[in-house]
């Protein structure tokens, strides 16, 4: 349970940013005094652009005075800053008693501040700039700034928060602000300010971490990269497999042209398989973690980093599974609109009418339109079907009724709709705003309990869809199983493992381990200091 709580924390942390095991700054730090004196500005911002404006507004909002230092105050359009913000020349602004100075200017222009070097000595300079390129090995802007102003305390930070987020973002500490600096004092002061602004400072260590922080905003969806790649690869695999099995090989070996299936049918076969496998991938790491704990006989050993990483991506995997399942749902609803479906229905109806006419004319007298109900077997050869088709025609009835086929479609559709419903519920409860309103017990019930329900329903949907076709030799053309058989294999394995873990003997041992019990507790034995020679 404790381990799962840890995962939840990690899981929540990744929602804000993809942070690489940073150390949270000590939140017990006493907050800075509001300002040294009521008349003195607490914070100076050099630059009067977008970031400067948003930062000044946020500072004011949090009761902190702000002074904006500009190269030319007269060029700042009126109304850009509220009256409460002091607009000064750069020289006047930095000569004021504020010791915290934000550089809200692009790093290319840091050189233009060299004349201010004596005034900036001993003060904390906050470098909010972002990197221009995603090259992590280049020298950071902050390190360059520290070289230019060696007497100042340079702190990197606030660049991961956009100007817009500063103005409108939450003030409940949920927005993380990675900071780093060679000066502990500088870092402490910036962290305190961040806390007062309703942000959550995260210590990344020395200034050498600045580049990592500078490139962070350039990264597109960092926490989604792995899950999206896996889903895409799975989709490609199923799609190409289906293409080979259902289109290319029949075309090459049997001269059957069904390339039209590429556009819709193959998508609708691959998507549910991806949804199913990706959903299984959400629950597999939890099972692996449980196995590892059972095998080690303790929970006090770290999981391998790949497993940790996988755990942290479960939310993204779950949402991607939901996305694929939803697309599959939409595609399935569109199925009857396809021309080929309409063609099949009309064709089947035509064949049936033709067959009934034939049966009537063979077995009924001309003047008798409705005879006593009796079963008649009729054989037909269809131009578009290679096999002989055996029709069970009931005299007097207009429609052949295939009871098992009706049950099959009722069951798989119902399971599919229910699975999609439960998946939607899971997707909604993974939103940060909803997660924050749930207790740990509620969260684990929804994400784990309902998650397994969704997986079971999806699997049932697939199994009912497959019905007994999976056991027909005709379903294995070229010795290749259907896509749904491949897609269902991993979920079957995951559910089997889960059932094994629910066995009383296994689950009770796991419960004990998670409550702190250890199979063999090894405590390092301290070496006795060796006796000095000559002592008896
Ligand atoms: N906008 C955003 O959302 C974010 C921005 N940042 C960082 O904040 C910094 C500023 O960005 P932003 O506010 O958007 O940029 P802007 O272009 O809006 O503002 C830059 C400001 O720099 C000042 N400046 C000082 N010296 C010079 C100079 N020599 N040449 C040109 N301008 C100078 C100007 O103010 P004046 O004329 O009054 O001196 C100008 O208004 C950048 O480093 C950016 O990476 C970081 C995170 C988010
Ligand atoms: Cu389906």
Q: What is the dihedral of CA 77, 79, 83, 87, to 10 degrees?
A: -20
pTM above 0.80, yes or no: no
Q: How many Å apart are CA 3 and CA 525, to the nearest integer?
A: 27
Higher pLDDT, 23 or 325: 325
Which residues make Cβ contacts (< 8 Å) with residue 312, sequence separation at least 6?
Answer: 7, 10, 11, 14, 223
Closest C-alpha to 271, from 490, 483, 453, 485: 483
Which protein residue's CA is at the shortest distance from atom 47 of ligand 1?
159
Question: What pLDDT shows up at residue 410?
Answer: 94
Mean pLDDT along residues 420-446: 86
Question: What pLDDT shows up at residue 483?
Answer: 94
Condensed to tens digits (0 to 9), the pLDDT of residues 48-59 reads 999 999 999 999
Query: For ligand 1, what atom is nearest to the CA of residue 113?
Result: 26
Question: What pLDDT shows up at residue 22?
Answer: 39
For the chain, domain boundaries: 20-218, 223-336+405-514, 347-399
Mean pLDDT along residues 324-338: 93
Query: For ligand 1, what atom is nearest to the CA of residue 105?
Result: 22
Condensed to tens digits (0 to 9), the pLDDT of residues 118-128 reads 999 999 999 99
For a ligand 1 pocket test, name from 46, 47, 66, 218 the mutation site with the most ligand atoms within 8 angstroms of its C-beta: 47
DSSP 247: I
Mean pLDDT along residues 347-368: 64
pLDDT over 80 (residue 93): yes
411 Cα to the center of ligand 2, angstroms: 11
Sign of the CA dihedral running 241, 246, 248, 254: positive
Higher pLDDT, 379 or 271: 271
Question: What pLDDT shows up at residue 357?
Answer: 65
Q: How many Å apart are CA 536 and CA 532, to the nearest integer?
A: 9
| Ligand with smallest separation from the Cα of 275 | 2
Q: How many Å apart are CA 103 and CA 51, to the nearest integer?
A: 10
| Ligand with smallest separation from the Cα of 68 | 1
100 forms beta bridges with: 43, 124
- 100 by Cβ neighbours in 10 Å (0-12 / 13-18 / 19+) ranks as buried
Condensed to tens digits (0 to 9), the pLDDT of residues 191-209 reads 999 999 999 999 999 999 9
- Give Cα 147 to chain centroid, integer Å: 40
Condensed to tens digits (0 to 9), the pLDDT of residues 131-179 reads 998 887 889 999 999 999 999 999 999 999 999 889 888 888 878 899 9
Question: What pLDDT shows up at residue 342?
Answer: 85
Q: How many Å apart are CA 218 and CA 203, to the nearest integer?
A: 20
Higher pLDDT, 263 or 222: 263
For a ligand 1 pocket test, name from 104, 108, 131, 144 the mutation site with the most ligand atoms within 8 angstroms of its C-beta: 104
Range with the poorest average pLDDT among 82-86, 280-284, 401-405: 401-405
Q: Which residues' Cβ are closer than 6 Å to ligand 1?
A: 47-52, 70-71, 104-107, 109, 112, 128-130, 159, 162-163
129 Cα to the center of ligand 2, angstroms: 49
> Are 393 and 358 a contacting pair, CB within 8 Å?
no
485 Cα to the center of ligand 2, angstroms: 13
Question: What pLDDT shows up at residue 371?
Answer: 42
Query: Rounded mean pLDDT of the chain?
Result: 83
Give CATH for domain 20-218.
3.40.50.720
Condensed to tens digits (0 to 9), the pLDDT of residues 213-255 reads 999 888 878 889 999 999 999 999 999 999 999 999 999 998 8
Instruction: Give the CA angle between residues 114, 134, 105 to the nearest 5°.
Output: 30
């Amino acid at each position: 349970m404790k381990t799962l709580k840890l995962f939840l924390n990690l899981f929540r942390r990744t929602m804000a940013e993809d942070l690489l095991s940073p150390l949270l700054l000590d939140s017990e730090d006493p907050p800075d005094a509001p300002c040294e004196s009521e008349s003195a500005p607490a914070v100076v911002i050099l630059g009067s652009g977008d970031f400067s404006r948003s930062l000044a507004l946020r500072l004011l909002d949090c009761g902190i005075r702000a002074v904006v230092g500009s190269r030319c105050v007269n060029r700042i359009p009126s109304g850009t800053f509220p009256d409460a913000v002091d607009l000064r020349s750069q020289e006047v602004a930095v000569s004021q008693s504020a010791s915290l100075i934000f550089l809200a200017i692009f790093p290319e222009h840091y050189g233009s501040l060299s004349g201010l070097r004596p005034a900036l000595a001993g003060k904390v300079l906050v470098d909010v700039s972002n990197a221009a390129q995603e090259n992590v090995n280049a020298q950071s802007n902050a390190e360059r700034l520290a070289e230019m102003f060696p007497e100042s305390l340079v702190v990197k930070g606030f660049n991961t928060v956009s100007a817009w987020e500063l103005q409108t973002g939450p003030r409940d500490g949920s927005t993380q602000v990675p900071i780093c600096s060679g000066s502990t004092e500088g870092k402490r002061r910036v962290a305190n300010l961040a806390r007062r602004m309703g942000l959550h400072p995260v210590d990344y260590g020395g200034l050498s971490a600045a580049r990592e922080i500078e490139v962070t905003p350039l990264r597109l969806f960092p926490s989604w990269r792995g899950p999206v790649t896996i889903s895409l690869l799975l989709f490609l695999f199923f799609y190409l497999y289906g293409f080979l099995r259902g289109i290319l090989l029949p075309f090459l070996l049997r001269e059957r042209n069904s390339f039209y299936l590429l556009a819709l049918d193959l998508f609708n076969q691959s998507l549910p398989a991806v949804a199913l496998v990706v959903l299984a991938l959400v629950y597999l790491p939890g099972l692996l973690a449980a196995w590892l704990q059972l095998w080690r006989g303790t929970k006090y050993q770290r999981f391998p980093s790949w497993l940790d990483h996988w755990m942290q991506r479960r939310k993204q995997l779950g949402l991607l599974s939901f996305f694929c399942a939803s697309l599959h749902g939409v595609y399935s609803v569109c199925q009857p609109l396809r021309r080929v479906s309409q063609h099949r229905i009309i064709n089947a109806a035509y064949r049936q009418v033709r067959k009934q006419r034939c049966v009537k004319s063979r077995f009924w007298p001309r003047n008798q339109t409705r005879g006593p109900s009796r079963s008649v077997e009729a054989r037909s050869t269809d131009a578009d079907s290679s096999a002989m088709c055996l029709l069970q025609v009931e005299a007097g009835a207009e429609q052949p009724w295939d009871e098992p086929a009706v049950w099959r479609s009722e069951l798989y559709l119902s399971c599919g709709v229910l699975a999609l419903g439960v998946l939607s519920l899971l997707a909604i409860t993974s939103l940060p705003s909803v997660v924050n309103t749930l207790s740990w017990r509620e969260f684990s019930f929804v994400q784990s309990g309902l998650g397994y329900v969704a997986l079971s329903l999806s699997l049932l949907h697939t199994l009912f869809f497959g019905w007994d076709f999976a056991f027909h030799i005709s379903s294995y053309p070229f010795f290749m199983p259907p896509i749904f058989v491949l897609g269902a294999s991993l979920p079957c394995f995951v559910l089997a493992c889960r059932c094994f873990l629910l066995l009383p003997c296994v689950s009770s041992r796991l419960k004990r381990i998670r409550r702190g019990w250890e199979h063999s507790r090894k405590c390092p034995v301290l070496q006795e200091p060796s006796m000095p020679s000559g002592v008896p």
